[in-house]
Structure 1
């Protein structure tokens, strides 16, 4: 069988790649995916609105829909008077300065646990909404990732 120009190029390219791969150092792929905490910063949120223990996340950049997966449910206190509780999966929609349609985060107000449905950033304050009521806190409270009680269940 005679080689013509159209078959000779693919064959020679294949042979070149085969010999190059056989004699070169193995290719290593690095995971350049940003962490969930870095993604928060990209949307102008401080890292401390997520507790330690995020093991993975997914984000649809076209819609902002996300899921963050923790290594268990957990809780921590905010300003000593509010107790926040995170389920092992948190979801919502993220955009600049706004988290909406949230699920998986609740706050204890008096004797009731209420779901936080929205978080907004306005300059140096974060506003947390449970639907009919909201409260704002200085952003300084969220500059570092909070320590948590992992595995805490209500």
Structure 2
């Protein structure tokens, strides 16, 4: 074998072997789908995301924003969770409105994709919703959003004129 061929093989080993097991996703929505979750769990306006070796997912948005599924949902600037097959566990930075209260979403679970249901754990209760609500990434709006986060008591929309 020529010395040039050996250099090429050595270079391929150095570059390709460390990449083994690493999968690149073009978007957070593609990453979610690959883990058995619907693409629409995060809004279209995701700026960036990071998934570390331990499965900790960190999603960054430009600013807090509100979207609507069955009820209103508030995404903070950074949302964190442990990502595994069919699950986002230990969520931080995501709240859901229930009966005029904002409750933190703890977990999002798809046990059986064929059931067509997704489980949302808001601490006090578990809600089962249709997976179809989460097929497409929602538009997340920040216009008029007034946030005073201590205790999440003062979250709401300002009057629009």
TM-score class, shorter-chain normalisation, is 0.7 to 0.9
What displacement does 1:34 show? 2.7
Q: TM-score w.r.t. structure 2 length?
A: 0.70
Residue of structure 2 in register with 1:103 after alignment: 92
Aligned with 1:63: secondary structure? coil
Once residues 44 and 91 of structure 2 are traced to their aligned partners in structure 1, the CA distance between those partners, rounded to angstroms, is: 18
Does 2:103 correspond to 1:114? yes
Does 2:41 correspond to 1:56? no
Does 2:85 correspond to 1:93? no
What displacement does 1:150 show? 2.6
Aligned length: 122
Residue of structure 2 in register with 1:65 after alignment: 56
Deviations 1:55-84 (A, max 9, x none): 111101x321110001211112223xx111
Unaligned runs of 5+ in 1: 1-8, 14-31
Once residues 33 and 75 of structure 1 are traced to their aligned partners in structure 2, the CA distance between those partners, rounded to angstroms, is: 25
What displacement does 1:33 show? 4.5
Pairs within 5 Å for 1:4-15? none
Residue of structure 1 in register with 2:135 after alignment: 143
Aligned with 2:110: secondary structure? strand
Deviations 1:105-137 (A, max 9, x none): 001111211000100013211110012311011
8 Å contact from structure 2 (residues 94, 105) kept in 1: yes
8 Å contact from structure 2 (residues 59, 80) kept in 1: yes
- Higher-Rg structure is 1
Q: TM-score w.r.t. structure 1 length?
A: 0.73
